[in-house]
Amino acid sequence: MAEYAMGMVGLGVMGKNLSWNMEEKGFSVAAHDAWPEPVDKFVAESAGKNVAGFKDLGEFVRSLRRPRRIILLIKAGAVTDKGIAGLLPHLEPGDILVDGGNEYFRETERRAKELADKHIKFFGMGVSGGEEGARHGPSMMPGGDKAAYEELAPVFTKIAAQVADGPCVTYIGPGGAGHYVKMVHNGIEYGDMQLIAEAYWLLKHLGGLSNQELHDTFAEWNAGELSSFLIEITRDIFKTQDPEGPGELLDKVLDQGQMKGTGKWTVMDAAEIGVAIPTIATSVEMRVLSSAKAARVTASKALPGPTGLSKQDKKQLIADVRAALYASKACSYAQGLGLIGKASDERGWGVQISELARIWQGGCIIRAQFLTRIKEAYQRDPKLANLLLDPGFVAELGPRQAGWRNVISLAARAGLPVLTMGASLGYYDTVRAEHLPVNLVQAQRDLFGAHTYKRVDRDGDFHSKWR
């Protein structure tokens, strides 16, 4: 007999925690997984809760009230296609499927079209916040079938993270808009994480800060303008002891980055629609470069670098790195939000950037104090060409330039890689440049390929004989 309000397919960390979140907010949950062990574990851990686990897919679907409302939290790509294909024979017109995984937005659009032909309502929804967010309140970015979202809005507004501005969920837009915004959210996250890593490296190698001093420094930063979830967890990482032996655990972690695809997808689409995102792009490139650990070890013995740089005054270095991190972080958000704005305009999604800043204030990985100011900037000017041009950010970045430029210079002279922080400064200087050396590039293109060029003193396209 159908009795459960919500269905969950996938009982990994996110699926089971989101199920418990929904149950806690008053929604009974039926759950299914392709493997029996996660179902047994879920049932055992859910004693006393209004949930049920099902190993048989048909029995699972039959347990749900109509129209059935099912969230999928399974691996993107072929696994999601297989999961949907398995469900379809058991579904009826009007049932709702929600893909809550990190899926490529083009795949979401394809599935939406295929399922619409079968009269199944479907939308893709980015879910940010990891295990803790799923359990206690994530930030959610749903996009696709608006009527389907509105039917589920009473559920999502209750299970989302709650901040002073309301629940951290909003309808993003049609098509693949929800998964696209989550994709770029993750790209901003890549940039933010790499910038923090570079700040740590500068303080450790130029200032000689111990892990305890790094903990204290990040604790101070988290009480000010840099306050954010990522700064907070970084603070805690510095003091975590190695359970396997003496010292801090961080020093035992291999410097070899990994990624699952959202950062790469962000860079790919930025190139496709013509938006520069160097802070985000270099953060992806740093994970790629770091993965070649053996090659780097070999190169470290073969390629010469600076002989070293004397240790810097700690107090001044900490102040300069703090300034550089804040300014570079602003560039990461400016690039990501600019990319979303351009994609929304080209694809007719109607995404409200101020709403994104609002729902990212709680639950998600990139939640930060200055998102309130970003929200206010886009409320003042919804068509803001670049976040850096908001008068508030103009006023803040100006005084931070000296410290920003100083640490990039120090890093270069010491041979310390700050690819992402350096790219951020390069982006800032390029955005504010009245003239760029691209006139020479255009001349080169015209010389070897007759691609033509434009002149500064008259209209039209020109081709010249250069030699």
Q: Which residues are catalytic?
A: 182, 189
* Cβ-Cβ contacts under 8 Å for 427 (sequence gap 6 or more): 276, 278, 279, 331, 335
CA atoms in the 13 A half-sphere facing the CB of 108? 30
> By the 8 A CB rule, do 206 and 317 touch?
yes
Identify the CA nearest to 355 among candidates 342, 335, 340. Answer: 340
- Print the SS3 string covering 26-44: CCCEEEECCCHHHHHHHHH
**H/E segment holding residue 387:** none
Q: Which residues pair with 163 in a beta bridge?
A: 166
Exposure of 104 by Cβ count < 10 A (0-12 exposed, 13-18 middle, 19+ buried)? Answer: buried
3-state helix, strand, coil in the chain (%, to 5): 60, 10, 30
Identify the CA nearest to 10 among candidates 28, 41, 39, 33. Answer: 33
Euclidean distance between CA atoms 374 and 380, whole angstroms: 10
- Name the token pair of 252: 């035992």
DSSP string, 90-131: G--TT-EEEE-S---HHHHHHHHHHHHHTT-EEEEEEEESHH
Exposure of 318 by Cβ count < 10 A (0-12 exposed, 13-18 middle, 19+ buried)? Answer: buried
C-alpha separations of 209 from 166, 169, 214, 467 in Å: 40, 40, 6, 57
Residue with tokens 């939406």: 112
Q: Return the ∠ at Cα 214 (arms to 212 and 215), rounded to 5°.
A: 65
Euclidean distance between CA atoms 406 and 197, whole angstroms: 18
